[in-house]
A and B are shown apart, each in its own frame.
Chain A
Amino acid sequence: MKTPEIPTFECETGNYHTFCPISCVAWLYQKIEDSFFLVVGTKTRGYFLQNALGVMIFAEPRYAMAEPEEGDISAQLNDQKELERICLQIRNDRKPSVIIWIGTCTTEIIKMDLEGIAPKLEKQLGIPIVVARANGLDHAFTQGEDTALAAMTHRCPEYNRRTTHQLGEDMARHVAVDVAPSKKFFDERGKSNICNLVLSGSLPSSVASQLNLESRRQSVSVSGWLPSQKYTELPALGEGVYVCGVNPFLSRTATTPMRRRKCQLVGAPFPIGPDGTRAWIEKICSVFNVKPDGLEERENQIWKNLSDYLEVITGKSVFFMGDNLLEISLARFLIRCGMVVYEIGIPYMDRRYQAAELLLLQHTCEKMKKPTPRIVEKPDNYSQVQRMHELQPDLAITGMAHANPLEARDIDTKWSVEFTFAQIHGSANARDAPELVTRPLRRRSDSVSGCRSLSRQTVDV
């Protein structure tokens, strides 16, 4: 057998558009119901958040900015006293179970010792304070969640095989309540293995319970999620616990339990698309020595459900400009759908954490007889637009800064951020990603007065 072609990796200048990683606040505060996020940073950050969050900002969100003023920058004011004052106010107004400080570039540059101050204030205020450094100096967009979850791993209770067995079962029961199991499908639920599988990644609760269901079909039950619906319900971690990520941008969250809590990491492709979901389940089953059952029929069934979408996209080409780290998994899925991927731009590529996903990408390219795309880390948007000009892809998956200008130049675009917020995980949501991808292609018509290119920018010398 011919070995699949290995994708080529390139690295460009890193001049690209993406969201600031503090945007993770937007979905994390909704996920963790008893949390409060305090972003310590200047007006620039606040302005970004209030514009990026749009309508959510008006719904009394459980987040706020602590804006350093000139006195803070020049250290005329005492950081600890200032933060204490602000956190007291938050505690009294909102009574959260945890305050999460999001460190920004400002706190990095002025070297504010958030990690040092937090334990002191925690003791003083009697409320847990978790510090996540989600700054634009080191991270891009979704990696913000990674830093926050990694910081939270340290707060997970200790798992002990003997004494906490009962606790683990309680936890399983609790998760089960959340999921509301049905007896119809799972008469032999009692038989399902007591596996200590913790899934990491923030997903809407319905998607999380769909994935729980997916693995319970193979009688592997999920013992907990990081993050949980409530801070007070964080899953237990320790020796003998297996951790598996559901999102490609969680490399820190994967390594922290492994290195600091002696958990074992299940390196699997990510459950995005029916192919990804199947590979993900298979890998989990193999770890727990369970023989997967009926996965192939299930996958085929789902592909059959997708046939109307596949008709639209098969043979079309796509260009990922790269901004949220979901790109490899999405590209793999789209290649399996029959698309040609020209380029996968990606902010950061952890080849170890994504190893299984990369391998699946290679196999998919081979299986579908499609060229292996080039993977461009830290892309340069200007060069990418030049390349796109030559390649003329049918679809560009890109950020909002480029979407309208590209549309005006007759390149169909899909806004990449939507993939972050849409429900694209598991078999039940298999239709959502192609729904997004086909939307610009489905509406394509030449009816509007025959104008294709509507750009105003002319070269006038």
Chain B
Amino acid sequence: MKLAYWMYAGPAHIGTSRVASSFRNVHATMHAPLGDDYFNVMRSTSERERDFTPVTASVADRHVLARGSQEKVINNISRKDEEQHPDLIVSTPTCTSSILQEDLQNFVDRASLSSESDVIPADVNYHRVNELQAADRTLEQITRFHLDRARRQSTSDRSVTNRPSANIIGIFTSGFHNQHDCRELKRLPGESGIAVNQVIPEGGSLRYLKDLPRAWFNTVPYREVGLMTATFSEKEYGMPYISITPMGISNTADFITQIGKLVNVWASALSEKRLNYKLYIDNQTKFVSQAAWFSRSIDCQNLAGKEAAIFGDATHAASITKILVKEMGIRVSCSGTYCKHDAERFNEQVRGLCDEVIVTEDHTEVGDTIARIEPSAIFGTQMERHIGKRIDTPCGVTSSPVHIQNFPLGYRPFLGYEGTNQIADLIYNSFNLGMEDHSLDVFGGHDTKEVSTKSLSTDRGDINWTPEAESEPSRIPGFVRGRTKKNTEVFAKRNNIPEITIDVTYAAKEKSSS
């Protein structure tokens, strides 16, 4: 047993549900007790999703413990099939079904006899993989399922597209800035004459999945999800893939150079003219992205040698480390990830860039490390932001897990050339905020405090509060406390009550009709 307060990556079924619900017209069902379909709440709130999340639970109750789920799972699958006619139903294992050792494959086999939709069980071991690994696996599984079938039915079209084209693999729901990154990613090759063949899973339709291999190559922007699909396509269909994350100027340049290489291989085969990307990279770096100029500017000079700590998923933590060190001259004291399964590669990525590497899933270890090295700024997840609050250190959020405020409505990619601008802002603002606070301290804080308190206060002065009553407003959340206090005093005055007791506060609340 493990004592835990917080986890960075969720349980496996969340990953599977995220992938399934990102595709169009795919439904995920899970066999779980009441309350385990919390994913629907998360998707509906943090992503502000307008549509019903296509995930349902067939609720496991005590009868299931006694006699097994019997027809329950199958009936639920058939019911979804009739009600919503999805293209595919993914039966998702949960901790409950794995402890009950239910034979999902058997359920699925029986359910698919009677349903129009395809039904597959997500091949995910609940105890051994986390959310991200499960998502990676499920995406590969769904792709493989459809491509294999297309091949069997010989409906697959294996001719490559006339114009160079690419698939973008791994953009999906509840991902950190995924929607914006996707738009930026489409633009990146698009400007250099490369079409986007398909984006999966987000918004992808299974009906067209068979055309996936028509692209010239695959791009996998995030390491966590999509690599399995890409390696599978490489093995089965000979599709090359690019796994460089185009985050930061140099990574983006590498990414485009890779594209150039892959495209030009075909270009020569098709006896077309070779495309030259060097000029494009040069132009973008100098004029579209402000980041290169920013790192030359005086602002950034002030950041030189400042210390930072970084934590997050493998993709974002590694890329941000590289940006800070190589592009801004900031010293990274510590860089870390919670993607334990990808530790080796992460170490390799940040080697030589930081003083210390931590790979852990324990947020207290991260907190202690940060507290020890006292960086000027932190770049991490929401958890690190709160660690930062506690030790008075500014934090820029650069990786999942995140809150609703990290699903902005405005355009905030992290990838591509626009992404470099966004990241530069984020980094500069984080450091600057810390310096502003620091200089305030140096100059003795807000020296106008006394004067401004008077104009901002709700104190009436001429009315007494008993100590008990005084303690009452302190139980009220801070942001309404002032108003409540004022209302009470107005009420007391109106009723000629000289002293505010606790009963008066209640009576005032009762009477208040603003």
Contact = CB atoms under 8 A, between A and B. Distances in A.
Given A137-B62, A428-B509, A430-B510, A52 B6 contact: no
A427 B52 CA distance: 38
From DSSP, what is the main secondary structure of chain B's interface residues? mixed
A141 B38 CA distance: 12
B52 A405 contact: yes
Interface in B492-514: 501-504, 506-507, 509-513
A46 B38 contact: no
Contact of B35 (A18, A110, A455): A18
Given A137-B33, A404-B44, A69 B513 contact: no
A408 interface: yes
A6 interface: no
Contacts of A234: none
B133 interface: no
A461 to B, nearest CB: 8
Q: On chain B, which size bracket covers the interface? A: 35 or more
A57 interface: yes
Interface stretch (A158-166, A204-212, A337-345, A356-364): A204-212
Contact of A428 (B49, B52, B56, B506): B506
B50 A456 contact: yes
A77 interface: yes
Interface stretch (B92-100, B179-187, B315-323): B92-100
A206 B44 CA distance: 33
B1 A43 contact: no
Nearest to B61: A137
B456 interface: no
Nearest to B466: A180
Contacts of A72: 1
Contacts, number: 203
B50 A408 contact: yes
Given A106-B95, A135-B33, A58 B383 contact: yes
Interface stretch (A81-89, A123-131, A251-259): A81-89
A208 B128 CA distance: 46
A77 B1 contact: yes
B13 interface: yes
Contacts of B469: 180
Most chain-A Cβ atoms within 10 A of its Cβ — which of B35, B469, B503, B512?
Answer: B35
B481 to A, nearest CB: 13
A65 B3 contact: yes
B5 A64 contact: yes
A108 interface: yes
A398 to B, nearest CB: 11
Nearest to A407: B50
Interface in B425-474: 466, 468-469, 472
B35 A136 contact: yes
Q: On chain A, which size bracket covers the interface? A: 35 or more
A71 to B, nearest CB: 9
B510 A302 contact: yes
A47 interface: yes
A435 B95 CA distance: 40
A308 interface: yes
B58 interface: yes
A235 to B, nearest CB: 21
A455 B50 CA distance: 6
A445 interface: no
Interface in A11-51: 14-23, 40, 42-44, 46-48, 50-51
Nearest to A429: B509
A441 interface: no
Interface string B94-129: 111001100000000000000000000000001110
A454 interface: yes
B258 interface: no
A403 interface: yes
B7 A47 contact: yes
Interface string B1-23: 11111110011011000000000
A407 B366 CA distance: 40
Contacts of B95: 42-44, 106
B61 A14 contact: yes
A3 interface: no
Contacts of B513: 305, 308, 431
A213 B40 CA distance: 42
A195 interface: no
B300 interface: no
B191 interface: no
Contact of A20 (B2, B10, B38): B38
4 closest A-B pairs (Cβ-Cβ)?
A20-B35, A136-B33, A180-B468, A408-B50
Interface of A: 14-23, 40, 42-44, 46-48, 50-52, 54, 57-58, 61, 63-70, 72-73, 77, 82-83, 85-86, 89-90, 105-106, 108-110, 135-141, 179-182, 184-185, 204-206, 209-210, 213, 302, 305, 308, 347, 382, 385, 399-405, 407-408, 427-431, 454-457
13 contacts: A14-B34, A51-B41, A61-B5, A137-B61, A137-B62, A137-B64, A138-B62, A180-B468, A182-B503, A205-B475, A209-B502, A428-B507, A428-B509
